[in-house]
Structure 1
Amino acid sequence: MIKNQYFKLLIIAPLFLLSSCSEIVDNVHQNNEQENYVSPYMGKWVGTYSGEVSGTLILNISKSGSMEVTRTVNNNVEEVYYTSLQGAENGSLSPSPSPKGFTLYGSLHTKSGTWKLQNWSGSWSVTKQ
């Protein structure tokens, strides 16, 4: 009976090791994909926003899809905040508000969208530089 238990252990132990190794390989592969990813929207995008308030926009998109937004109001007051793209395929902006509450909605695929700041709203458009 003891020999039977050792036999089972000798068969089951390698199966656990193999499943653990495949998980490690999958994780390494996934990490490599993330490290090698380059957003198709990477670069500098410049444009304007208009509506109840207007000004200029500069969107700097990193390799990973994170985004630095610089918003300038007509009186040359700048606000810089950070957000990211939501969808790699369509370049949707993640609706993350700035510290002052300015939020961009839309897509870099269409190069346009809407914005909201408290009770004010309007539209925006950009072009890639």
Structure 2
Amino acid sequence: MVKKLYFQFLIILPLCLLSCIGADEILDNIHQNNAEENYTSPYMGKWVGTYSGDAISGTLILNVSKSGSIEVTRVENGNTGEVYYTGLQGSNGALNPSPSPKGFILYGSLHTKSGTWNFQHWSGSWSVSKQ
């Protein structure tokens, strides 16, 4: 009888400890998900400006979502050059320098409302203001 209880204790104790650890991880994940859902980027909204430089120039429209993802619309000579998606890095409004499908890359920050760009063998600067 004692051996049977001891054996049950040896099986149940580790399971209890594992379930407590698992419960803590689950609660941490819930809190993290709630924080992400409640987060609102301070840069949320529509930003409009221009880019100019080596041989090309145009208009930039940046639509920043609540979560900080960005829809970039690049307009060149009155025609939409392309629409692509990127995001913000960190709390300083730095743009994630991910290239568009055509290779246009924005560097800079929405905190400073400006930066530089590269496209193929051209480069230049850009600036925007919040609408």
Tell me, yes or no, if structure 1 residue 123 matches structure 2 residue 125. Answer: yes
| Aligned amino acid, residue 71 of structure 2 | E
1:14-55 Cα offsets, whole Å, 9 max, x none, are: 222211111111111111111111111000001111111111
Query: What is the deviation of 1:10?
Result: 3.5
Q: Partners in 2 of 1:72 and 1:103 — Cα distance?
A: 14
Paired letter, 1:68 = E
Root-mean-square deviation (CA, aligned residues, Å) is 1.2
Write out aligned runs for 1:1-129 (5 A).
1-52=3-54, 53-73=56-76, 75-78=77-80, 79-87=82-90, 89-129=91-131
SS in 2 for 1:85: strand
Which runs of 5 or more structure 2 residues have no equivalent in the other structure? none
State the TM-score, normalizing by the size of structure 2: 0.91
Give distance in 2, aligned partners of 1:7 and 1:94: 53
Structure 1 residue runs of 4 or more that deviate by more than 6 Å after TM superposition: none
Greater strand percent: which structure?
Answer: 2
**Percent identity of equivalent pairs:** 66
Aligned residue for 2:100, secondary structure, equals coil
The letter of the residue matching 1:115 is W
* Unmatched tracts of structure 1, length 5 or more: none
Could you report, residue by residue, the CA deviation over 1:92-117 in whole angstroms, capped at 9, with x for unpaired residues? 11111112111100000111000000
1:69 maps to a residue whose letter is: V
Structure 2: distance between partners of 1:125 and 1:12: 59
AA aligned to 1:81 is: Y
